[in-house]
Amino acid sequence: MGTSASQRSPATPEWEQVRELYKQPNPQPGEVVGRIVAALSPETRQEMHGPSVVPSLNALLWGSCHVAKHGLPPLVEDISLLTTGPPVIALAATVRNYAQEHITDGRLSSRFGELALDALSNTVMDAAAAGRGLLSVTAAEAAANFGSYAAQQNLAGLSENFLGHDFDHLFRYFVARDIGDFIGTEAFPTVSHGSRLLDDVAHYCRESTTQVSLAAFEDQLHEAVALPLHERIAKLEPVIAYGIVTGLGVLAGGH
């Protein structure tokens, strides 16, 4: 246990099928992902879109709407980050902190909630930087980029980006907990080889799940943001559930 611990995947025949792939050099990311989907228990699938994931989507939408309406400074002034660090970092840290408070107050913590929190952070940074360097984007640019999703009625697009990052983090997690056992073998001689598989799997997940459209939920997403915090979970949970279930369906057959 100690200061840092990791736990291998469950000892089931399905997960053993996944680990079999790590004995081969250059396993196809689609095949790895497909076998992982097949190995997921119904409970695990359910938890992947459970209430603990919703605070991250909620914070993302809230952040974009808030910035679109008020700009960046009112959002981040509480933690005085704008004066001490890059604006994109300040923005993402503020939105992440908002989600964490929601998780703590609602007793919503879970493993998948933690992964969603990281997905939220990546989504905000991606959206705010819009392809430029995270550390070089100005506050005005970050606000314009991130706020544009709310301003242009594209919260569904922002949510789709979140979904892609969530699948990225979920499948990195599933692979990372087992791949260490295979480093130093012919298939994965160095840690770089392991990292390459993780990157390939994550990229595959992000790319594949762009097929999942949340456009039909655009109105529902705007309505949710206008609700009191405690009512948003019920409104957003079906959106996450649709995205994760549909995404897993896409990934299940991937090669």
Partner 1 sequence: MAARLIQTGGGAHADLAGANALAQADWLLDWESAQRNAVLTLDHLERSLPAALSPLARDFVDVATGIFLADIAVPRGRNEQWVRDIELRLVVRELDFWQSVSRPLTRLVHLLTADNFTITFCPRRDEQPPRLRDADAGAGYDADCVALLSGGVDSLAGAVLLLQTGRRSHFIMHYSGNPTVRMAQDNVAALLAESWPDTHLTSALHIAPDTSSPAALPFPPPDNREESRRARSLLFMTLGAVTAATAGLEEVYIPENGVLTAALPLTRARVGSLSTRSTDPGVIKLFNSLCEQAGWSCRVQNPFLYQTKAELIRDVLRPALSPLDIQKAVSCWMTGRHNRQCGGCIPCLLRRLAMLAAGLPDEAYMTDILGDPLSHSGTDAFTNLVDLLTQVSTVLGKSDDELVMEYPRVLDLATAGADVEQILGMLRRFAGEVKEVLTTRFRASAALLDVV
Please give the residue ranges that form the binding site for partner 1 (CB under 8 A).
1-7, 9-10, 43-44, 47, 79-81, 84-86, 89-90, 92-94, 96-97, 100-101, 103-105, 107-112, 114-115, 117-118, 121-122, 125, 133-135, 169, 172-173, 176-177, 180-181, 183-185, 189-192, 194-195, 198
Tokens at residue 187, please?
């298939």
Least separation in angstroms between residue 25's CB and partner 1 is: 15
Least separation in angstroms between residue 136's CB and partner 1 is: 9
Quick one: 47 or 160, whose CB is closer to partner 1? 47
Quick one: 123 or 217, whose CB is closer to partner 1? 123
Residue 69 identity (one-letter amino acid): K
Quick one: 71 or 180, whose CB is closer to partner 1? 180
List C-alpha distances in Å: 222 to 1, 62, 147: 44, 9, 13
Quick one: 31 or 114, whose CB is closer to partner 1? 114
Quick one: 189 or 253, whose CB is closer to partner 1? 189
List C-alpha distances in Å: 238 to 65, 87, 135, 150, 226: 20, 32, 35, 20, 17
Residue 78: exposure state from Cβ atoms within 10 A (0-12, 13-18, ≥19): exposed
Least separation in angstroms between residue 115's CB and partner 1 is: 6
Question: Could you give phi then psi for residue 183, rounded to 5 degrees?
Answer: -70, 140
Least separation in angstroms between residue 219's CB and partner 1 is: 30
In DSSP terms, 188 is beta-bridged to 183
Least separation in angstroms between residue 216's CB and partner 1 is: 29
Question: Could you give phi then psi for residue 198, rounded to 5 degrees?
Answer: -60, -45
Residue 100 Cα to chain centre, angstroms: 14
Least separation in angstroms between residue 153's CB and partner 1 is: 27
C-alpha closest to that of 49 among 61, 39, 57, 60: 57
SS3 of residue 131 by DSSP? coil
Q: Locate tokens 């369906």: which residue?
A: 249
The Cα 46–Cα 44 span in angstroms is: 5
Quick one: 5 or 255, whose CB is closer to partner 1? 5
In DSSP terms, 183 is beta-bridged to 188
Question: Could you give phi then psi for residue 108, rounded to 5 degrees?
Answer: -110, 15
Least separation in angstroms between residue 110's CB and partner 1 is: 5
Quick one: 181 or 231, whose CB is closer to partner 1? 181
The Cα 61–Cα 222 span in angstroms is: 8
